[in-house]
Amino acid sequence: MKYPFMIADVFTEERFTGNPLAIVFEADGMPDETMLKLAREFNLSETIFVHKPQSVRHLAAVRIFTPRGELPFAGHPTIGASVALGLRHKTSAVRLDEKVGTIVSVMTPTGKKSGHARFGLPQLPQRVGNAPDKDLIATHLGLMPHQIGYGGMEPGVYSVSVPFLIVPVQDASVLKELKVQRRGWAEMFNEGVNGVFIYCPTQSEADNDYAARCFVDMNGLGEDPATGSAVSCLIGHLADNHKFGEGQTDFVVRQGKEMGRPSYIEAQVKLENGKMVHAGLGGHVVINAQGELDLLG
């Protein structure tokens, strides 16, 4: 079989920055084993496979694979596929069936091979566990314990179907100092935590509100240039610590700068009577390549 595919950079307006994504179209009938092998072949943080939807009201069903296995939800594949499908089908409304549920994206073209998408999270972020001891976290990040936390903010484990350890640190200089010890992370968790997201506020930076680094897969801890599912968890962490007022709040997280792949993840949250009623993500996408996979023997 032959399958069209695209390579896109997500959460960026500039080529060869952001988080790269492989998008494989017309993947109906492709075995799970083949999707996993292709994810390993592309060797990107995620590859998304586009299938026909079950409902005629939806544009596509999608499945998301890392080189290690399938995810029920991930932010940068959802944003990337929304732009690619919106451009392909010339539509601004993109309804996707993901393992986590139906996601509705709004896509705006910014060029023939670029666009912007935003969507509401299929589940609101929530705290799902306690963080390990701060001294232990500091040791594994190559930091001193006093560098973790700011203004009463402390680490916690949050999830939007994919759990992350959220670790606040003092400032952006601490992010540069990180020397992650890759051994021992998995042994600290029982909740199936997918990665560690280290962040700080950036009052002195004009184009964003927070800076972050993220290390995914507790068994390998490779750094990710832009992690929408982790920023989704950050929304819950900030909401629990009363960082949002009534109504809608928009903020931007920069990630990947230390890797040479700066990314800008847009986040949105809405509170009514002190309760979160909406959370969402958005970002820009640039399509860099397209071609055809030939899987005939």
Regarding whether 279 and 181 lie in a shared domain, the answer is: yes
Regarding whether 133 and 278 lie in a shared domain, the answer is: yes
Give pLDDT, residue 231: 98
Regarding whether 179 and 99 lie in a shared domain, the answer is: no
CATH code (residue 19): 3.10.310.10
Regarding whether 140 and 93 lie in a shared domain, the answer is: no
Instruction: Check pLDDT > 80 for residue 133.
Output: yes
| Percentage, residues of the chain above pLDDT 70 | 98
247-297 tens-digit pLDDT = 999 999 999 999 999 999 999 999 999 999 999 999 999 999 999 999 976
Regarding whether 243 and 276 lie in a shared domain, the answer is: yes
Regarding whether 186 and 205 lie in a shared domain, the answer is: yes
C-alpha–C-alpha distance, residues 148 and 153, integer Å: 9
Regarding whether 247 and 147 lie in a shared domain, the answer is: yes
- Domain count for the chain: 2
Regarding whether 192 and 114 lie in a shared domain, the answer is: no
User: In this structure, are residues 266 and 249 in contact, taking their beta carbons and an 8 Å threshold?
Assistant: no
C-alpha–C-alpha distance, residues 194 and 78, integer Å: 18
Regarding whether 163 and 93 lie in a shared domain, the answer is: no
Regarding whether 148 and 54 lie in a shared domain, the answer is: no
Catalytic site residue from 14, 33, 41, 46: 46
188-208 tens-digit pLDDT = 776 688 899 999 999 999 999
Regarding whether 131 and 45 lie in a shared domain, the answer is: no
C-alpha–C-alpha distance, residues 101 and 231, integer Å: 19
136-182 tens-digit pLDDT = 999 999 999 999 999 999 999 999 999 999 999 999 999 999 999 88
User: In this structure, are residues 157 and 131 in contact, taking their beta carbons and an 8 Å threshold?
Assistant: yes
In the structure, what pLDDT confidence band is assigned to residue 47 with cuts at 50, 70 and 90? very high
116-129 tens-digit pLDDT = 999 999 999 999 98
Regarding whether 289 and 255 lie in a shared domain, the answer is: no
For residue 154, what is the enclosing H or E element? none
Give pLDDT, residue 189: 74
46 is known as an active-site residue: yes
C-alpha–C-alpha distance, residues 260 and 266, integer Å: 19
Domain that holds residue 34: 2-119+284-294
CA distances from 97 to 52, 57, 93, 165, 288 (A): 10, 11, 13, 27, 25
The residues, any chain, with a CB within 8 Å of residue 69's CB and separated by 6 or more, are 36
DSSP state for residue 185 in the 8-state scheme: T
